[in-house]
Structure 1
């Protein structure tokens, strides 16, 4: 065999392999081909970007935009994704249970009318690439739960289950999403709440919420999350009207209050202004505002509401109006201090005239820096951190302390400082100790003790017994084992 023959055979072999690879492997198996042949309609749901339902004179159009389903006709609103996806699933699994050939239909001109397929009232069209022909829905068959269907471009008629008909034979309102918003609680980064008592503004930084107005304070993450989830999980009871008309009948011309949620997370270095919207470098991200109106005369367990992103008036469960009773004190964080243990390297306990202990962490172990890095009882340090993180304020005494000596905080009896530590300069931090939280404890009054955080203006009270767990004596923190024996 010469080289030319060998080359020709190699080319033929490669061509055969390529054909098998790109054509034969893409062909459905015998079982798959049998299943596809039995389907009423075959399509790729990922290529479907719209659905048109004609029901007599009424037309419903649903479009997929930014991976979300929206009603476009006869009303504009967000569609119930679960209903749309269920329709597509039923279409994918819709099987033929009988076939009447086109020849048989042509032989008897009355057949189409008999099956209700001559000029049917109900039609379904999928929009998108490689879309199938429009599907026409005829009469119910004598066999229970079955009906006649055909494609617009063919007289061939199929007997199939009524599942798809039940999915589409609905009023436009039934395709509307009853979930108020597609925002999740975790996506919300900023919130404003306007009530008869005033305005509140909160912002989430990293993993924690802060109150910005009417005072700057830490917020309780759980309570803020619960408040937001009342909106993000709210279910619409009734679709009342669009919001372009007279809103006075619903108490929404001058709402009793409102809550606005923002899901934009500003990036470092970006300028952010908060008003009716958030502006970032010329871009604008409008918040989602829910306005609370009056109670309907007939449905006393509901309340009128307007949700601006959807441009409509709804009724929601009356319970949602409870958000208007929210006060700053309801959302404040009653935990004494937040300690970021991921960056905690040093704890300084300083009691003027009594002693000072500096606990330092290195390579995962705690030592006493003020006693030549003697080993520390790590369990005791963990208990201290846990105690402080779980300690709750018993009372907020003053939001702005004007006279610290009144509380013994001008000369605290003991101070705690929590710091990170870097051995050398980096792009993010400077070398040395960097305090990130501090607590000063003043005088005791009854069972309470006055306290104040270094970066907050408030004076609070905590349990007096808390001091029993904070010793400035380095010996109290030293590891109990004096000798370590080798086996």
Structure 2
């Protein structure tokens, strides 16, 4: 045998092996084969495109097109897809409990009649997959929940469960889809509502709804979604008639109202007309679906939609803020310099003050407040008389902007305002306001103005000092008397002015509070004299360098309220308040009481680096 012959035989052998392997892979496993042998019928549900049920003289035919099931006979309408899918699942899992061979059946000529399978009333045929026989349903068996079934052209009979029979032994209308529409609320991009009072046109732009008619206004996303959901989740109560006949008896010749739902792909829309209340079923309402071409009844509460007024659907939020693009907040008060707050990563700075750190928590609080602020009243839909409301010369104007450091494909470099709120006159507990890109005048809570600081000092970072306790080198505390301490060459504290044993625990508490002092809040400008800071009751001076050149001074005045004290740091502009806890810590005695035990070594302040931050 030469090498060519050997090669040919090897190729043939390899091909045969591959073919046999392919055939083997296509064959069901032993376990799967056993399962299939127990099934009444084996089929691929993805190939099934039709179902025919013969129930006595009545034939019900359904077909699947574009993954949707429709009734074709005896009426044409949408079929209940979930009901059909459940039926197919039951059919897939339909098992033989026993088998009576064709030979046994033929041995007794009356056997098929006894089983109700000689001339069965109920038959089922699946189409779309070749070779599937028609299934014939007979009588109930003596065993509970079991019945007799067989295939057309076969006398072999099976004992099986009744679930499949129960799925198909129904009237045609039981297979009709009782959902009013296949749409879900999220798919709807426009709603047109016609009521006795007029027409309301709602359109969705991006993630938000707009009222387009009878006025241009922001829509309340949740209320409009709830309105749409009343339609998309409505269930048909009764199938009354097709819509080709006389509709006067249903009040649909001149409907009381109409609702049309649109999607981004469907510009024609799905029209639902609302008619009269049936004489007998007072809790229902006649409606006509143009898409399905039928008259139905729905629960009567659907007619509440006809009472909807434009103001019911308006967004009562003062302003919409997309925090993802909010980079600048400008506070403009006549006669004062503008305050500009700028976002830097996850924090905020005061851009109008050389990007000094801002109280980021306070900025976020104001943003949250504005986002949640709701209009107390829609005053005018056309702002034709701004002086009447003090909006020609607003007392405060707030501008929200995005910011780009350089040109991109989407945005230009620089600041891009997306909302400006003007606040005008106050009236009782309200203040008039207006978004400059909207034509309305609204009223909001007057107290909102108190939450928008117009003094740049109040926007400062609450951190007064950012040191470590070991960085403090010299300390002076002056109240009724002065105590002065300094570190020696070994970093241990010694008296410069004072006597007795140093209370190391009190000293460490004071250093910890002082080095990381945070204000509770900043006070408006001009508060120094008002809060007793011209004649402070406590002064603390400290240094943060070994040469004592980096000096800092904290002055504490009178009580701001029951739990805070006014204070001022000489290197910071403005006054602030500190907590009662910090104030009491600063008053702790630094000398140990006579007769008290000597502080342990662990209480001593250890030497450390004294680098200036």
Cα distance per residue 1:186-213 (max 9 Å; x no partner):
1111000000000000011111111000
Cα distance per residue 1:444-465 (max 9 Å; x no partner):
1111100000110000010001
Alignment of 1:61-76 (within 5 A): 61-76=61-76
Cα distance per residue 1:419-448 (max 9 Å; x no partner):
111122222221111111110000111111
Q: Which moved more, 1:135-144 or 1:443-452?
A: 135-144
Cα distance per residue 1:291-342 (max 9 Å; x no partner):
1111111111111111111111111111110000000011011110000111
Cα distance 1:402–1:37, how it changes in 2: closer, same or farther (>3 A)?
same
Equivalent residue number for residue 368 of structure 1? 350
Corresponding position: 1:285 with 2:258? no
Q: Which moved more, 1:136-145 or 1:47-56?
A: 136-145
Task: Find the aligned partners of 1:100 and 1:474 in 2 and give their Cα distance.
Answer: 93
Once the 2 structures are TM-superposed, how far is the Cα of residue 370 of structure 1 from its aligned partner? 0.7
Corresponding position: 1:351 with 2:333? yes
Q: Contact 2:43–2:129 at 8 Å: present in 1 too?
A: no
Once the 2 structures are TM-superposed, how far is the Cα of residue 79 of structure 1 from its aligned partner? 1.0
Once the 2 structures are TM-superposed, how far is the Cα of residue 121 of structure 1 from its aligned partner? 1.7
Cα distance per residue 1:51-98 (max 9 Å; x no partner):
110112211111111111111111111111221111111111111122
Cα distance per residue 1:8-29 (max 9 Å; x no partner):
7864774466346523233222
Q: Contact 1:337–1:388 at 8 Å: present in 2 too?
A: yes
Corresponding position: 1:414 with 2:396? yes
TM (norm. structure 2) is 0.74
Q: Contact 1:47–1:130 at 8 Å: present in 2 too?
A: no
Corresponding position: 1:153 with 2:153? yes
Q: Contact 1:443–1:449 at 8 Å: present in 2 too?
A: yes
Equivalent residue number for residue 381 of structure 1? 363
Instruction: Pick from 415, 422, 433 the counterpart of residue 415 of structure 2.
Output: 433
Task: Find the aligned partners of 2:193 and 2:131 in 1 and give their Cα distance.
Answer: 47
Task: Find the aligned partners of 1:323 and 1:36 in 2 and give their Cα distance.
Answer: 53
Once the 2 structures are TM-superposed, how far is the Cα of residue 386 of structure 1 from its aligned partner? 0.3
Cα distance per residue 1:200-246 (max 9 Å; x no partner):
00011111111000000001111101111100110111111111111
Q: Contact 1:101–1:157 at 8 Å: present in 2 too?
A: yes
Q: Contact 1:193–1:201 at 8 Å: present in 2 too?
A: yes
TM (norm. structure 1) is 0.92
Equivalent residue number for residue 590 of structure 2? none
Cα distance per residue 1:88-127 (max 9 Å; x no partner):
1111111112222222333333332332222322110111
- DSSP-derived class of the 1:386 partner: helix
Q: Which moved more, 1:466-475 or 1:191-200?
A: 466-475
Aligned residues: 469
Q: Which moved more, 1:214-223 or 1:4-13?
A: 4-13
Task: Find the aligned partners of 1:21 and 1:126 in 2 and give their Cα distance.
Answer: 32
Once the 2 structures are TM-superposed, how far is the Cα of residue 31 of structure 1 from its aligned partner? 1.9
Cα distance 1:442–1:242, how it changes in 2: closer, same or farther (>3 A)?
same
Larger relative contact order, structure 1 or 2 (CA cutoff 8 Å, min sep 6): 1
Note the residue ranges of structure 1 that are not aligned, 5 or more in a row: 266-283
Cα distance 1:463–1:119, how it changes in 2: closer, same or farther (>3 A)?
same
Equivalent residue number for residue 277 of structure 1? none
Task: Find the aligned partners of 1:59 and 1:465 in 2 and give their Cα distance.
Answer: 72
- DSSP-derived class of the 1:285 partner: coil
Task: Find the aligned partners of 1:9 and 1:379 in 2 and give their Cα distance.
Answer: 82
- DSSP-derived class of the 1:355 partner: coil
Q: Which moved more, 1:443-452 or 1:144-153?
A: 144-153
Once the 2 structures are TM-superposed, how far is the Cα of residue 369 of structure 1 from its aligned partner? 1.1
Equivalent residue number for residue 469 of structure 1? 451
Once the 2 structures are TM-superposed, how far is the Cα of residue 7 of structure 1 from its aligned partner? 5.0
Equivalent residue number for residue 398 of structure 1? 380
Q: Which moved more, 1:320-329 or 1:106-115?
A: 106-115
Q: CA RMSD in A?
A: 1.9
Equivalent residue number for residue 326 of structure 1? 308
Equivalent residue number for residue 442 of structure 1? 424
Equivalent residue number for residue 39 of structure 2? 39
Equivalent residue number for residue 309 of structure 1? 291
Note the residue ranges of structure 2 that are not aligned, 5 or more in a row: 471-613
Cα distance 1:6–1:355, how it changes in 2: closer, same or farther (>3 A)?
farther
Alignment of 1:15-30 (within 5 A): 15=15, 18-19=18-19, 21-30=21-30
Equivalent residue number for residue 168 of structure 2? 168
Equivalent residue number for residue 127 of structure 2? 127
Once the 2 structures are TM-superposed, how far is the Cα of residue 149 of structure 1 from its aligned partner? 1.2
Q: Contact 1:356–1:473 at 8 Å: present in 2 too?
A: no
